[in-house]
Amino acid sequence: MKKILANDGMEKEGIALLEKAGYIVITENAAQAELADVINENGYVALTVRSATKVNKAVIDKCPGLRLIARGGVGMDNIDVDYAKSKNIQVVNTPAASSLSVAELVFGHIFSMARLLDFSNKKMPENGQKEFAQLKKTCSKGIELNGKTLGIIGFGRIGQAVGKIGVSLGMRILAYDPYISDANLELDLPVNPKVKVNVKTTTLDEVLSHSDFISMHVPGGEVITAKEIKMMKKGVMLVNAARGGVINESDLIEGLNSGHIAHAALDVFTGEPAPKKEILSHPKISLSPHIGGSTEEAQQRIAVELAEKIIHFLQ
């Protein structure tokens, strides 16, 4: 029987599908330094990972029997994809499975920033009894999302999922993506026929200069620096649930301290898993520990999609 190492774990739904197809699935984690030896000693033909395990050139060179690397999630920056393919190892991921989870987290942060929930949740336990009236006055300066402009930089699956929620809340959508000219957003409403909204993408300058909120959904690179921040509306709110470093963190802090940026929300960080102290302690940053695609439902969808792709490619 063919053996598969799910080094960063796998939900039971995916394991059940693989076992039904005749595979043995092992979920015991191998340390990075021992990964190649464990794969070879146990004869694994496929390896599944999330973001924790790195599958670099050194690992690939040491594992001639490996036929498939499967990444649960969207990005594959922890896998040397081109090199794996050059060694006839198939590489797959699950780009659609976690889109909704990331999009809902983005709006969790947007609501938190718009209604000062992040601030009030920090201050109420400390000062709620003595300074209730003052906190109420401060936290009553929140804003509504209806009628505001949501800028989306990167309009692939996740960006479009964010756009669908924004449209449902009555927001105007400005999207930038150099590879996508427009997209039909089918709203997840319990009606028939389905409601569809066409969104045409625009320039990055347009998104930066006219958005009240900006959400990042690009695969990497430094997209937002002091130059781009200067182009934004005063009081803009930023969300990064894409990749650490997409927003230059030093420039972000300067923008927050100057008041040009009202609030920011980060789910991903430069130097992860050890974010900078000035980021973690900043009063105007809403924080989460890289959990965008990590919901129970998303993990189940990822496991099922991974299992189906593994079965397809190995058979």
What is residue 188's predicted lDDT score, i.e. its pLDDT? 86
- What are the beta bridge partners of residue 287? 266
Class of domain 3-95+296-314: alpha beta
What is residue 27's predicted lDDT score, i.e. its pLDDT? 96
pTM of the full structure: 0.88
What is residue 130's predicted lDDT score, i.e. its pLDDT? 96
What is residue 20's predicted lDDT score, i.e. its pLDDT? 96
Q: Using an 8 Å Cβ cutoff, are 222 and 245 in contact?
A: yes
DSSP H helices, the chain, are 12-20, 35-42, 57-62, 81-86, 99-114, 117-127, 132-139, 157-168, 204-210, 226-231, 249-258, 277-280, 296-314
What is residue 113's predicted lDDT score, i.e. its pLDDT? 98
What is residue 77's predicted lDDT score, i.e. its pLDDT? 85
What is residue 203's predicted lDDT score, i.e. its pLDDT? 98
Separation CA 262–CA 212 (nearest Å): 10
Q: What is the dihedral of CA 117, 236, 100, 247, to 10 degrees?
A: -110
What is residue 296's predicted lDDT score, i.e. its pLDDT? 93
CATH superfamily, with its number, for domain 99-287: NAD(P)-binding Rossmann-like Domain (3.40.50.720)
Q: Which tokens belong to 5?
A: 């190492």
Residue numbers annotated as active site: 243, 272, 290
What is residue 73's predicted lDDT score, i.e. its pLDDT? 84
Residues carrying CATH 3.40.50.720, the chain: 3-95+296-314, 99-287
What is residue 76's predicted lDDT score, i.e. its pLDDT? 86
Query: How much helix, strand and coil, in percent to the nearest 5, is found in the chain?
Result: 40, 20, 40
Residue 44: alpha-carbon gap to chain centroid: 29
Per-residue pLDDT of the chain (315 residues; tens, 9 = 90+): 799 999 999 999 999 999 999 999 999 999 999 999 999 999 999 999 988 899 999 999 999 999 999 999 877 889 999 999 999 999 999 988 899 999 999 999 999 999 999 999 999 999 999 999 999 999 999 999 999 999 999 999 999 999 999 999 999 999 999 999 999 999 988 888 889 999 999 999 999 999 999 999 998 999 999 999 999 999 999 999 999 999 999 999 999 999 999 999 999 999 988 999 999 999 999 999 999 988 999 999 999 999 999 999 998
